[in-house]
Structure 1
Amino acid sequence: MTDVRIRAARPADHTRFVQVCDDWWGRPMTQLLPRLFLDHFHTTSLTAEAGSELAGFLVGFDSPADPEQAYVHFVAVAPRHRRSGLAGELYRRFTDGARERGRSVVRAVTSPVNERSIAFHRAFGFTVSGPHPDYEGPGVDRMVFELRL
């Protein structure tokens, strides 16, 4: 991971994110990443680059409704950068920033079938609960992750 530089995201990064996200995830995911996230939450989101190549990104924000919470909405790492520690470093920087901004908990969710995400969050120290039936609407169950800072 020594060749990867992590910086605050910019609104213009949105185009790069949606160009790779379906391919990196192996299924349609761009609908979960509307431009509004980078327009409004780019200062708390992160972009990882290896030279000019996009290596990964994390889209997260501080909850406007609960001053104690921060939320990771989306994280992705390019296949060639997986298992390099990049996802963990993105999460570490996000959680460190959340703590510095006075947040005491970070949350995220995923589908119950996303076993890699569940294992990753557990290894990072998140408490995992679920599946929570109908969490995102009828028939859309989710696993919930919580990390106390």
Structure 2
Amino acid sequence: MENPVRIRKTCPSDYSPIISVLDAWWGGRRMSDMLPRLFFTHFRETSFVAELNGKIIGFLIGFLSQSHSEEAYIHFVGIHPDFRKQGVGSVLYRQFFQTAQEFGRVRVKCVTSPVNKSSIAYHLHIGFEAESSETQEDGVPYHLDYDGVGEHRVLFVKHL
């Protein structure tokens, strides 16, 4: 990338451009229902957009847990397919980790689907640990029906 990627906090006007490409970024999987507009309004201090030449090429939506005062949570991360494996995600995650620490958080949690092998590998690579469970696949523990019937999830935690 010739020009540096710019990281900034999300704003409500980011919702439409992101939601319009979200399903395409996931290869046609319907993901847009998982990202309502409220995240772009109520979690701006802990959610970030990556831009290159004024175009959104990635985003991270996260928040501070209200129930667990030492934790922050990453809800959704998306990187434009043309910009994957170029460090955009890493920059977004580092920004979130730094922000979480500024708010006194010592742990970050997130989840992914057990079928999303690239997400699992990425999270393990950047220092997340998969939380233990009796159910495992390929040595990776996952939690049955975590997000509803048939919606199994790998639960990750990273200590800051």
- In structure 2, the residue matched to 1:133 is 144
**What is the SS of the residue equivalent to 1:56?**
strand
Residue 92 (structure 1) aligned with residue 103 (structure 2): no
Rg larger for: 2
Matching of residues 37-52 of structure 1 within 5 Å: 37-52=39-54
- Structure 2, gaps ≥5 residues long: 132-140
User: Aligned letter for 1:73?
Assistant: H
User: Aligned letter for 1:39?
Assistant: T
Q: Distance in 1 between matches of 2:22 and 2:118?
A: 16
**What is the SS of the residue equivalent to 2:110?**
strand
Q: So what's the TM-score if we normalise by structure 1?
A: 0.96
User: Aligned letter for 1:138?
Assistant: V
Question: How far does residue 3 in structure 1 lie from its aligned partner after superposition?
Answer: 2.8
Instruction: After the TM superposition, list the runs of 4 or more consecutive aligned residues in structure 1 that deviate by more than 2 angstroms.
Output: none
- In structure 2, the residue matched to 1:107 is 109
- In structure 2, the residue matched to 1:144 is 155
Matching of residues 1-149 of structure 1 within 5 Å: 1=1, 2-26=3-27, 27-129=29-131, 130-149=141-160
Q: So what's the TM-score if we normalise by structure 2?
A: 0.90
Q: Distance in 2 between matches of 1:35 and 1:102?
A: 27
Question: How far does residue 114 in structure 1 lie from its aligned partner after superposition?
Answer: 0.3
Length, aligned pairs only: 149
**What is the SS of the residue equivalent to 1:121?**
helix
Deviations 1:50-97 (A, max 9, x none): 112111000000011111110000001111111111101100110111
**What is the SS of the residue equivalent to 1:134?**
coil
- In structure 1, the residue matched to 2:136 is none
Identity %: 46
